[in-house]
Amino acid sequence: MNKIYKPNRTDWNEILKRPTQTIDAIEDIVNDIFKEVKKDGDAILRKYTQQFDGVSLDDLLVSALEVEEARTLVSDNLKTAIRLAKSNIETFHKAQITDRVEIETTSGVLCWQEKRPIQKVGLYIPGGTAPLFSTILMLAIPANIAGCKEIVLCSPPDKEGKLNPAILYTAQLCGVSQIFKVGGIQAIAGMTFGTESIPQVYKIFGPGNQFVTVAKQIATKYGVAIDMPAGPSELLVVADDTADAAFVASDLLSQAEHGTDSQVILVSTSEKMIDAVELEVEKQIKDLPRKKIARKAIENSKLIYVEDDGTAIDLINVYGPEHYIICSKNEDFYIDNTFNAGSVFIGNYTPESAGDYASGTNHTLPTNGYAKQYSGVNLDSFMKSMTFQKITEKGIEKIGNAIEVMAEAEGLQAHKNAITLRLNSLK
Amino acid sequence: MNKIYKPNRTDWNEILKRPTQTIDAIEDIVNDIFKEVKKDGDAILRKYTQQFDGVSLDDLLVSALEVEEARTLVSDNLKTAIRLAKSNIETFHKAQITDRVEIETTSGVLCWQEKRPIQKVGLYIPGGTAPLFSTILMLAIPANIAGCKEIVLCSPPDKEGKLNPAILYTAQLCGVSQIFKVGGIQAIAGMTFGTESIPQVYKIFGPGNQFVTVAKQIATKYGVAIDMPAGPSELLVVADDTADAAFVASDLLSQAEHGTDSQVILVSTSEKMIDAVELEVEKQIKDLPRKKIARKAIENSKLIYVEDDGTAIDLINVYGPEHYIICSKNEDFYIDNTFNAGSVFIGNYTPESAGDYASGTNHTLPTNGYAKQYSGVNLDSFMKSMTFQKITEKGIEKIGNAIEVMAEAEGLQAHKNAITLRLNSLK
């Protein structure tokens, strides 16, 4: 682990640099597959499912029978856990429902703002070694609360042409409308254009490898919205002597096991804590099944000693961490002064994994410093705000002249006429 | 005008098609200028200001003296109008302030969501024939209410190296931090990377020609967020016999004068109304200063007769208009069943130009069908939502086991360990 003592502010950007991703090289591949899917639909989805997932499928849609079978394959223990998580996530996201905002800005000029659901959304769930059913909870639950009419899910099949039972069980539990056995670039392209089997959607959510990430970015060119741009997952812990070194180490490792490019940072005002965490990481890492991955991420991790909380908070705001644990006697100072972070975990008994699975907050969060300008996924991510106005005759008499003057000053005479005609009709 | 009677649903997509924009051709130019600005900063901004705006500038920053001078050049009449608009826009956007959402999802598991301002935002205001000071109201007012720390504005100078006084007056009135005399692709690149004079920002807002639009899209590749993708402005009016044909015509024309590619659509359940509006458009268009532009847009406009309100609403939701006027005896039916629209204007005395300037709603709205998945600019556009969680010892005992089970099922042992360590410490 890299220990850094009192770094100069001028060096912060260099120290906090994320690994650069080379997107340009992938773009051509993605563009080509998009063009193919747009033209030939399902046939192309099948072709790439054969090529990348090694299985030939007649039907891309998961059948009711398969879903039923999956239900019998998931252990009761896991079902109970998933249902508890669902309940908490539902509670938190239902609390985010907002009333319409309505106000008379001038007497006779009534304006209101309402949020309405995005009608068709697509969820992407990666395949591979870990079946990320928890991400289905994080996406399908708010989509349902928002009232999205069509919730489509795509995930790559295994070599037997199956999806993991936990994925099917969770998708069904959370009200996903249709589940498709297709992954990668071709899945994103399918939801972008629509094919014979996959419906076209208006917004695509969910994580993925660099191919999926670039595919989502390309999808925006074709008018589809995405949840947010994605980069490797990351955790920053700020800890003083009130923290528990073993707990902190376990949190850093839970981030590190995600991938070799995971970002792990400890900021501390205590040299003692830094040394203790370093020892604990060494101790705990040995028994991890994914220790090879974790070891690599830990090699690039940073333990940064700063002299005071003020310096720490400035550094944290420059970084803008996705996950952010605060274990400090001055926790309120950190809570109040953090402007850039995705999800914040406060105190010794609030590990990141709580938010990953079951506290109720969403785990789809801005990485790569995007916490500076992007929200994590929340209920509003599945809605859009619309505004309404209704003006009475009295109301237009009040604001009409101002509009005429401004329209004229902007050289837009027809805009002015629309007012003048109405004002004249009231004379 | 193109009159279309009872079109088949299968033809709707064709009828409602927007003009396609060719972005690919511009992309190379934009990419090149971005690379130049990234490398050589202000020098490149000056080079292109000379080339495109025809003026050589030493200082890109507008001075306090220039702002002071502008104030004396704006008529009192216009100042009063701008201040009235500001008051209404402030009232409506302040009403959008939300409290933090806080809830205990499980006893001992406290979760909350808070919105915090994006620290640095950039506003782009186009130059050209019409000085769009109204757009400054729409962007700087909510940025200020949100609490953004730095609000940077870029707008191209005229051949004398000046900005329009109404732009400077409005920018100062609405609390813009710094105003720069730079426009086009180079302005967007400047705010994306930061230069010697222009600060780097986290999110860029505002309209522009196709070069600016593509530049904003390219900016997202470099980690900057944008308000939304943009296309030509558009208006859809739904009107029955309770509408006033002259008013409707004036609204269609106020949209048509924006540009030759403006989209103008009337949907009506009354053939009589369609004919009356057509006549009124011909009558009113003659006296418009921008009649050449309006004429071209009107030529491509569509007057669509449908047999009933149910058909009308389906067609409107397929289109997803940016601006949407409802003049119908069944206005509530349309209000309740419209899922895709930017800003809605209800009744005979609510012209689109009211929302463009002074009703209080925002005029930066999703075009090109993006109302299906994007919000118009609103207070939240200048903030991001962050989540927090604080779990007590009792709380982690309640949800810890579920997290362990789920982490294990996803193959993430270190995630499980972070819980197990804590649970063991409580035994």
Provide the 3-class DSSP secondary structure of residue A376: coil
A396 to chain B: nearest residue by CA? B349
Kindly report the CATH number that applies to the domain delimited by A392-425.
1.20.5.1300
Q: For chain B, where do the domains classified as CATH 3.40.50.1980 start and end?
A: 2-19+231-360, 24-97+123-226
Catalytic residue among B36, B93, B323, B352: B323
Q: For chain B, where do the domains classified as CATH 1.20.5.1300 start and end?
A: 392-425
CA dist., res. A415 & res. A59, Å (int): 54
**Looking up tokens 């360590």, which residue turns up?**
B421
Q: Which of A388, A396, A419 to mutate to test the interface with B (most CBs of B within 10 A)?
A: A388
What is the predicted pLDDT for the residue at A231? 83
Q: Is the pLDDT of residue A324 over 70?
A: yes
Using an 8 Å CB-CB cutoff, list chain B residues near A355. Answer: 387, 389
What is the predicted pLDDT for the residue at A410? 95
The answer to whether B151 touches B191, Cβ cutoff 8 Å, is no
Q: Is the pLDDT of residue A1 over 90?
A: no
ipTM for the predicted complex: 0.96
Q: Give the Cβ contact number of residue B418 at 10 Å.
A: 29
* Interface residue B116 vs chain A (CB under 8 A): yes
Using an 8 Å CB-CB cutoff, list chain B residues near A412. Answer: 130, 254, 257-258, 290, 353
| Residue A225, strand partner residues | A203
CATH class of A2-19+231-360: alpha beta
Instruction: Give the amino acid at B100.
Output: R
Q: Which fold has domain B24-97+123-226?
A: Rossmann fold (3.40.50)
Mean pLDDT of A211-230: 92
Q: Which of A135, A285, A384 to mutate to test the interface with B (most CBs of B within 10 A)?
A: A384
Tell me which residue in A134, A202, A390 faces B406 most closely, judged by beta carbons: A134
Using an 8 Å CB-CB cutoff, list chain A residues near B116. Answer: 339
What is the predicted pLDDT for the residue at B21? 65
Residue A367 Cα, gap to closest chain B Cα (Å): 11
Using an 8 Å CB-CB cutoff, list chain A residues near B341. Answer: 386
| Residue B383, strand partner residues | B117
* Interface residue A358 vs chain B (CB under 8 A): yes
A204 to chain B: nearest residue by CA? B373
CATH class of A24-100+116-226: alpha beta
The answer to whether B252 touches B218, Cβ cutoff 8 Å, is no
CA dist., res. A294 & res. A10, Å (int): 30
What is the predicted pLDDT for the residue at A112? 98
Burial of B185 (0-12, 13-18, 19+ CB in 10 A): buried
Nearest 5°: the CA angle B79, B81, B83 is 70
CA dist., res. A114 & res. A95, Å (int): 16
Closest to A95 in 3D by CA, of A334, A362, A356:
A362
The token pair that represents A263 in the structure block: 């970002």
Residues of chain B under the 70 pLDDT cut: 20-23, 129
Using an 8 Å CB-CB cutoff, list chain A residues near B368. Answer: 223
Q: Which residue positions of B form the known binding site for Zn(2+)? A: 255, 258, 356, 415
Instruction: Give the amino acid at B393.
Output: E
Q: Which residue positions of B form the known binding site for NAD(+)? A: 124, 186, 209
Tell me which residue in A229, A360, A419 faces B351 most closely, judged by beta carbons: A419
Q: Give the Cβ contact number of residue A164 at 10 Å.
A: 22
CB contact under 8 A, B406 and A358: yes
CB contact under 8 A, B246 and A415: no
What is the predicted pLDDT for the residue at A19? 75
Q: Which of A22, A288, A410, A426 to mutate to test the interface with B (most CBs of B within 10 A)?
A: A410
Tell me which residue in B258, B385, B419 faces A375 most closely, judged by beta carbons: B385
CB contact under 8 A, A402 and B80: yes
Closest to B404 in 3D by CA, of A89, A250, A234:
A250
Mean pLDDT of A363-382: 97
Using an 8 Å CB-CB cutoff, list chain A residues near B103. Answer: 91-92, 95, 360
CA dist., res. A52 & res. A69, Å (int): 26
Tell me which residue in B374, B399, B409 faces A78 most closely, judged by beta carbons: B409
Residues 211-240 of B with CB under 8 A from A: 217, 220-221, 223-225, 229
CB contact under 8 A, B403 and A353: yes
* Residue A132, phi then psi, degrees to nearest 5: -80, 65
The answer to whether B145 touches B94, Cβ cutoff 8 Å, is yes
CA dist., res. B347 & res. B329, Å (int): 9
The answer to whether B123 touches B136, Cβ cutoff 8 Å, is yes
CB contact under 8 A, B402 and A85: yes
CB contact under 8 A, B389 and A133: no
CB contact under 8 A, B349 and A284: no
Q: Which helix (H) or strand (E) holds A76?
A: helix A76-94
* Interface residue A370 vs chain B (CB under 8 A): yes
Tell me which residue in A109, A116, A413 faces B359 most closely, judged by beta carbons: A109
CB contact under 8 A, A401 and B81: yes
What is the β-pairing status of strands A383-391 and A343-346? Answer: unpaired
* Interface residue B31 vs chain A (CB under 8 A): no
CA dist., res. B336 & res. B193, Å (int): 44
The shares of helix, strand and coil residues in chain A, as percent rounded to the nearest 5, are 50, 15, 35
Q: For chain A, where do the domains classified as CATH 3.40.50.1980 start and end?
A: 2-19+231-360, 24-100+116-226
| Residue B122, strand partner residues | B152, B204
* Interface residue A7 vs chain B (CB under 8 A): no
Average pLDDT of chain A to the nearest whole number: 96
CB contact under 8 A, B406 and A357: yes
CB contact under 8 A, B389 and A350: yes
**Looking up tokens 């101790």, which residue turns up?**
A283
Rg of the Cα atoms in chain A: 25
Mean pLDDT of A49-73: 96
CB contact under 8 A, A289 and B422: no
Examine the residue annotation and report whether B322 is marked as an active-site residue of this protein: yes
CB contact under 8 A, B389 and A359: yes
The token pair that represents A222 in the structure block: 């074709």
What is the predicted pLDDT for the residue at B22? 66
Mean pLDDT of A174-188: 97
Residue A421 Cα, gap to closest chain B Cα (Å): 7
The dihedral region occupied by A128, where left means phi > 0, alpha psi between -120 and 50, and beta the remainder, is left
Examine the residue annotation and report whether B363 is marked as an active-site residue of this protein: no
Mean pLDDT of A382-387: 98
Q: How far is CA A411 from CA A165, A383, B15, B275, in A?
A: 63, 36, 31, 29
CA dist., res. A344 & res. A322, Å (int): 9
